[in-house]
Structure 1
């Protein structure tokens, strides 16, 4: 290890010092490297083992590494879904004393996949739409806190399964900027157009490689992010006017936002001079309504859709087991549901299958499997019976998503100069 090595980190893992920083990243030994699927990146990115978990190491300039490290930490404080920044390593020298590129180190997000790995499984055509919808939600959350991404794409995003949908996490904040006064409409529209064009190009690339169904239209799917984004943005930030006799619509608006997974910290409510019209507008909107309720009741930290599904099962359990004529103690029922329903399911999953999916996703899929079995057999299938069938018929045949070791997807270098390739020009013309 070179004496000039500089590591910037909020909490330094001593094992960082043992990695071969004196070697270029593309020469790191195989015993250090974790074979995980990679997305497309303009920089060289490798995955490595560190203290029992996996890290992503990206070669870049010192200035850009430190800027992105600081930005990711800021986004984390703002509760934005993104990768966890661990360190910036600078001052690297090889054995001959020559300078090596600085690196940004982030923690690999367990149970997450780049979009190319998802499509390598030849999933149903609507997967593209669900990924775009998840990215639209992420983009809205970023814009609400005043973050201009500047390079919105599927490649710069990781996806985790979330109760039949996907949750999107920002991976690359290299081009992002945070504005204290919020974003202008022009900045938001610019980000949205970047997203639309990039997504179309990425899907065309997959289509050219025969990795998506023929009926998938990349341009139509990419246009979907515009519609999804604007619909969600209007619901979260748009004002609404109604007659003062319809004040129940205030609660209706709050309920709609809660169903979307957002909480309202403050509402601006105004009436006109005659008191006949009420105008409301959310002032501060925060995501994770169902997640926070589930954590408060059970301590389980899940995705938003997973939380919604688990809460539905919890509420159903409470309605079934509550004593007649007595008020339901929500916290007591949550404790009973946790130890009698959720935990027995999770702990009974065979140890060799626990890397397939997150526990909350397993529970969600089990409920789905039980429902389909009950429909097919026209009877109420017990949970234990459904679990046996789900484990043997479904879970056992999935590949592990905790790390997704096989099959590896190679990183693909993209041009960083101003000259577009013929393929780039072709798909941009189509968009």
Structure 2
């Protein structure tokens, strides 16, 4: 049987990989040492032409379906891993058939939840992961994607200015429809609640989550966080005719949540004394898009919000509120952001993304100023952060924490 490689772009280096060997037996010298999450299938990371791809061994029909699903979600601008290709027609040296392989591009600076929780992080880390997963699930449901296997294990997380951003990493069971019913959305939430509770119980058994944490209570958070966000984005709001300012207030609230409104449906009642508004088209990434337009920086939305706040502070400090916004943003980028992020030595640049480092330096400056009871320059804060804080951070662009495959797994 001939090897069949389907890829989104020409990638001759794929031919050099040992496809005739079961993935579990691939030699260590071609593998990348990255933390792995729990998976029903064999998964390995490989370096190819300076990039890292994840390879999952799976049945051919499932691999091709998931490949197409991930590509469809990317076209809809949903946060998920990038599908690279499918390799089918594999046989071993004796001619016995081997499963196909799904190839996805590794999401740099992302981590599975087990690696996140295995580090010495804040006590509310699990809650913040749930928040990120709720946002991801709402975004997917808004475009009609039913996940079917919502869990922390099927998600990757990136730091996002003190919070987390969640990315779908496994679309094996997903279905893309024109619109989801409430029953379909509730089904996904029920799956999420059960899976999250089990995953946290596993980590408790391994000593990575304190025993005083109640996995059931934490898993229930997905329901309330999801419901609050879904209501804010989809339900209409009514107010009296003389309170039109509430329209802008509603829009600003959605922007604060990181969403843009493409269209509003505004209706009045029969006597014209009350107005109802409902967002019709809602896109995520409000702050990220604005920052990208002004500076060319592509970052997570919460990071973008923090950077835009610093840009606003820079604008005020220079008394340039009436200047062209893009010119001011260019000056901030060249005089503040780029010089500060360049203070990080090359050997430490794999620890965090530049935008996250800049956010942490801003946080560090605030704490330094509070202790000193006086203003601290961002240059001094950056030097102190690089000298005393950053060296203790793990390298999140490469290998982090424990091998999560070795943590206990709950029996089904």
The interval holding the TM-score normalised by the smaller chain is over 0.9
Say whether residues 1:245 and 2:242 are aligned partners.
Answer: yes
- Report if the CA contact (8 A) 1:128-1:221 is conserved: yes
Q: CA RMSD in A?
A: 1.4
Deviates more, 1:284-293 or 1:206-215: 206-215
Equivalence for 1:52 = 50
Given candidates 12, 15, 39, the residue that maps to 2:13 is 15
**What is the aligned counterpart of 1:97 among 95, 98, 120?**
95
Judge conservation of contact 2:203–2:407 (CA < 8 Å) in 1: no
Once the two structures are superposed, residues 18-72 of structure 1 have per-residue CA deviations (whole angstroms, 9 ceiling, x without a partner) of: 1110100011011111111111111111111111121110011110000000000
Task: Using the TM superposition, give the Cα deviation of residue 153 of structure 1 relative to its aligned residue in structure 2, in angstroms.
Answer: 0.1
* 3-state SS, counterpart of residue 106 of structure 1: strand
What is the match of residue 227 of structure 2? 230
Gap change, CA 1:63 and 1:413, over 3 Å in 2:
farther
Q: Are 2:366 and 1:371 aligned? A: yes
- Residue of 29, 35, 41 corresponding to 1:43: 41
User: Cα distance, 1:349 vs. partner?
Assistant: 1.0
Which sections of structure 1, spanning at least 5 residues, go unmatched? 415-420, 425-431
1:255 equivalent among 241, 252, 257: 252
- Mark the CA change 1:411 to 1:100 in structure 2 (over 3 Å): closer, same or farther: farther
Deviations 1:315-358 (A, max 9, x none): 110111125xx723111110000000000011221110111100
From 360, 363, 367, the counterpart of 2:355: 360
**Structure 2 SS opposite 1:391:** helix
**CA drift at 1:406:** 5.6
1:22-421 map, 5 Å: 22-180=20-178, 182-323=179-320, 327-404=322-399, 407-410=402-405
Give the CA deviation at 1:125.
2.1
Q: Deviations along 1:233-291, whole A, 9 cap, x unmatched?
A: 00000111111111110000000000000000000000112110101100010000000
Q: Is the 8 A contact 2:13 2:48 kept in 1?
A: yes
Distance in 1 between residues matched to 2:365 and 2:173, nearest whole Å: 45
Q: Distance in 2 between matches of 1:231 and 1:197?
A: 20
Q: Could you list the runs of 5+ residues in structure 2 that have no partner in the other structure?
A: none
Relative contact order higher in (CA < 8 Å, ≥ 6 apart) = 1
Q: CA–CA distance in 2 between the matches of 1:405 and 1:261?
A: 29
Q: Distance in 2 between matches of 1:90 and 1:359?
A: 38
Structure 1 contact 125–216 (Cα < 8 Å) conserved: no
CA contact under 8 A between 2:343 and 2:382: conserved in structure 1? no
Tell me the TM-score normalized by structure 2. Answer: 0.98
Secondary structure of the equivalent of 2:20? coil
Give yes or no for contact 1:12–1:87 (8 Å, CA) kept in 2.
no
TM-score (norm 1): 0.93
Q: Distance in 1 between matches of 2:101 and 2:22?
A: 10
Give me the whole-angstrom Cα distance separating, in 2, the residues matched to 1:122 and 1:365. 17
Task: Please say if residues 197 and 219 of structure 2, whose CA atoms lie closer than 8 Å, have aligned partners that are also in contact.
Answer: yes
Match of 2:4 in 1: 6
| 1:122 CA drift (Å) | 3.5
Q: Deviations over 1:123-148 (max 9, x none)?
A: 22200000000000000000000000
Query: Helix, strand or coil: the match of 2:28?
Result: coil
Corresponding residue number in structure 2 for 1:418: none
